[in-house]
């Protein structure tokens, strides 16, 4: 059986990742493919419990290092119980955030460095990397305005200083420049339907190559 495609969405707060991930999952299902739509932190019962610790509460609840270990604890459970089994049975996994987010938020913005994230990734999911990643880039002020419209208790990261979010945006851009073959950098200020079309075209093209592999 052919391994399924692993597709991830990345970006800062309010970039529209969740919307585009859901739309892509629907498109793939319409094509008759088995799809697992999931998210991080979270995606499995254990990881969802850890998610509450990370995305709710006071902004100073954790240090950057504490966040790093919590994210990878959640990811380890998510990968083992959801992502890897789905890929093994040939399903497409569409995930809202993955290790690139940890690199941007904790590695860059919190200043822990690339090596710390890379070493934990090697332990947590050795050899597992997204086949394609869509990085939705948007000016911080626009994204924060969008995210501020959401009525949710999951706003711990959104409430962090604007300078922190600027560091995240710059981090994602640097991450994308280091892995341009995998990461598709997309202007998320474009119309939602236009973004959806761009993403569909990229994934449909990859599916053709994947099926012929």
- The answer to whether 17 and 9 are in contact (CB under 8 A) is yes
The arithmetic mean of pLDDT across residues 150-169, rounded, is 90
Of residues 147 and 58, more confidently modeled: 58
pLDDT range class, residue 150, cuts 50, 70, 90:
low
pLDDT range class, residue 195, cuts 50, 70, 90:
very high
Question: What CA–CA distance (Å, rounded) separates 132 from 98?
Answer: 12
The arithmetic mean of pLDDT across residues 36-48, rounded, is 98
Give the per-residue SS3 of 189-208. Answer: CCCHHHHHHHHHHHHHHHHH
Q: Give the largest Cα separation in the chain, rounded.
A: 49
pLDDT at 147: 78
Is the pLDDT at 80 greater than 80, yes or no?
A: yes
pLDDT at 151: 60
The arithmetic mean of pLDDT across residues 44-62, rounded, is 97
Question: What CA–CA distance (Å, rounded) separates 126 from 120?
Answer: 9
Cα separation values, 143 from 17, 148, 188, Å: 11, 8, 9
> What average pLDDT is seen over the chain?
94
At 162-192, the pLDDT tens digits run 999 999 999 999 999 999 999 999 999 888 9
Is the pLDDT at 65 greater than 60, yes or no?
A: yes
Is the pLDDT at 121 greater than 70, yes or no?
A: yes
H runs (alpha helix) in the chain: 17-30, 45-55, 64-78, 84-88, 99-102, 114-124, 140-147, 162-178, 192-211
Is the pLDDT at 1 greater than 70, yes or no?
A: no
pLDDT at 204: 93
pLDDT range class, residue 149, cuts 50, 70, 90:
low
Sequence-ordered list of residues with C-beta below 8 angstroms from that of 157, at least 6 positions apart, any chain: 13, 55, 105
Sequence-ordered list of residues with C-beta below 8 angstroms from that of 112, at least 6 positions apart, any chain: 64, 65, 68, 106
Rounded percentage of the chain residues whose pLDDT exceeds 90: 87
Question: What CA–CA distance (Å, rounded) separates 18 from 152?
Answer: 14
């Amino acid at each position: 059986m052919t391994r399924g495609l692993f597709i991830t969405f990345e970006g800062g707060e309010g970039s529209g990742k969740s919307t585009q991930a859901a739309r892509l999952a629907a498109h793939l299902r319409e094509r008759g493919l088995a799809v697992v739509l999931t998210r991080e932190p979270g995606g499995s019962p254990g990881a969802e419990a850890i998610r509450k610790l990370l995305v709710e509460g006071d902004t100073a609840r954790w240090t950057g290092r504490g966040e790093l270990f919590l994210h990878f604890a959640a990811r380890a459970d998510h990968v083992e119980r959801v992502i890897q089994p789905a890929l093994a049975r040939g399903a497409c996994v569409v995930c809202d955030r993955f290790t690139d987010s940890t690199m941007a938020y904790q590695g860059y913005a919190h200043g822990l460095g690339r090596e710390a994230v890379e070493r934990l990734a090697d332990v947590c999911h050795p050899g597992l990397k997204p086949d394609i990643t869509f990085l939705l880039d948007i000016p911080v002020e626009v994204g924060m305005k969008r995210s501020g419209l959401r009525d949710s208790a999951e706003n711990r990261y959104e409430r962090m200083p604007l300078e922190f979010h600027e560091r995240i945006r710059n981090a994602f851009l640097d991450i994308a420049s280091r892995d341009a073959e995998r990461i598709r950098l997309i202007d998320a200020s474009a119309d939602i339907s236009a973004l959806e079309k761009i993403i569909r075209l990229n994934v449909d093209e990859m599916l053709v190559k994947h099926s012929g592999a």
